Amino acid sequence: MKLREIVVDKAIVPNLVATKLEDAIHELLNALVESGRVSPDMRETFAKSILAREKKGSTGLNHGVAIPHTKTTAVKSPLAAVGISRTGVDFNALIEEYENRLISTALNQTGGNKKAAAKLLGLNRTTLVEKIKKKGLEGKIEVCVISDESNA
């Protein structure tokens, strides 16, 4: 199968407005809906599926190329929208946000203990500490410790 066979002509967006991943995906899905190849009621289902795929690993490649995609039984044959962004789309923002949440959750689950949090995340403690510093999360992560009253 050739790329030309799956690209929907009416879903080529020569001037993508979005600068964030989620917005870009919605803009491209809107183009597919407007082309008549995707029903409006499937737009959010596809968006959620594509974003879930992005959380597993960014589809952003080198040189400003990205191929956000998903696999679903809801379509009979592959189809694609193409967008060209003159300003760029930040495909790493979603991954960064997800990683920040994982770090924050691990620290919450361990009462702020970085060694235990690193173990939960499958990282060395020093790697976790470096990630926290690099991301500027030091002092931004709130730890909430809840215990039963009998231990208070």
99 & 63 share domain: no
Domain containing 24 — which CATH number?
3.40.930.10
For 106, the token pair is: 């691990």
- In the block, residue with structure tokens 């809801």: 74
| Best CA proximity match to 31, nearest among 8, 6, 54 | 8
- In the block, residue with structure tokens 């949090």: 117
36 & 80 share domain: yes
Q: Is the pTM of this model over 0.75?
A: no
- Distance between start and end Cα atoms, the chain: 65
**Which stretch of DSSP H or E encloses residue 31?**
helix 21-35
Is residue 40 over pLDDT 90?
Answer: yes
Crossing angle of helices 92-109/114-121, nearest 10°?
A: 130
Domain containing 137 — which CATH number?
1.10.10.60
150 belongs to a structural domain: no
State the residue range of the domain holding 12: 3-90
122 & 80 share domain: no
28 & 43 share domain: yes
Distance CA 88, CA 66 (A): 10
What pLDDT, in 10s, does the model give residues 52-63? 888 777 777 766
65 & 99 share domain: no
Chosen domain end from 51, 68, 90: 90
99 & 44 share domain: no
Q: How far is CA 103 from the centre of its chain?
A: 16
Average pLDDT estimate for 117-145: 81
